[in-house]
Amino acid sequence: PEVLSFMLDALQNYESATPTPTAEPTPAPTPTVIEGKGDKILEDINLNGNLSTLHFVTSSSRHTAVKFHPASGGSYDLLVNTTEPYDGYTLLSSAGRLEITCSGNWSVEITPLGTTQETSFSGKGDFVTPLLVAPGDAWKIKNTGESNFIVKQIGSTGTDLLVNEIGSYEGEVISDISAGESCLFVITSSGEWSIEPIS
């Protein structure tokens, strides 16, 4: 609940600061990059009040996990859990610690979320979109991966789980996030995916 409150506050602050889309996307923020090998705890992850992305990369083919322990206490969030090489993005929404379990080399890149005027997105693997203004509440979503496919849309009034399926997916969904609301998408996928608004 406290993490969700932080996320909603951050999105509401963004929404009030930018009631209409700006002419240009914000410049790419400067990331914090940390490299290491083996099991490691990264202390004092401070986002300075910003929603941020965690880009984690490893070539290890053994079990790898990344846990985020919020500074406020409570249970951890399992951000990465795989036995394959990994290159993907997840969302960080509060200060805390990262616990990395990995037998090989790895890198962590933490970047504050930027904004975009784009409303259609595509990619491969786990991803977090920049902040956008929802053009509507209906979306067309596709996925070609074989593992769990999850799409969450997080807005200034709440979070909606749009898709939670195993394997390939193609469908149309209506979101609780309304047109004109600031939002972002968090995608979990092992394959290629796309999200686009239905006009």
Question: Looking at residue 2, what is its pLDDT?
Answer: 42
Residue 175 contacts by C-beta under 8 Å, 6 or more apart in sequence? 134, 137, 138, 139, 153, 160, 162
The candidate with the shortest Cα–Cα distance to 157, out of 140, 135, 175, is: 175
**Chain mean pLDDT for the chain:** 89
**Tens of pLDDT, residues 133-188:** 999 999 999 999 889 999 999 998 899 999 999 999 999 999 999 999 999 999 99
Confidence of residue 74 (pLDDT cuts 50, 70, 90): confident
Question: Looking at residue 8, what is its pLDDT?
Answer: 56
What is the percent of the chain with per-residue pLDDT over 70, rounded to a whole number? 85
Q: What is the 3-state secondary structure (H, E, C) of 113-133?
A: CCECCCCCEEEECCEECCEEE
Mean pLDDT of the 95-102 span: 96
Residue 157, both tokens: 């009034």
**Tens of pLDDT, residues 3-32:** 445 455 666 555 554 444 444 555 666 789
What is the percent of the chain with per-residue pLDDT over 90, rounded to a whole number? 76
Asked if residue 1 has pLDDT above 50, the reply is no
Confidence of residue 72 (pLDDT cuts 50, 70, 90): confident
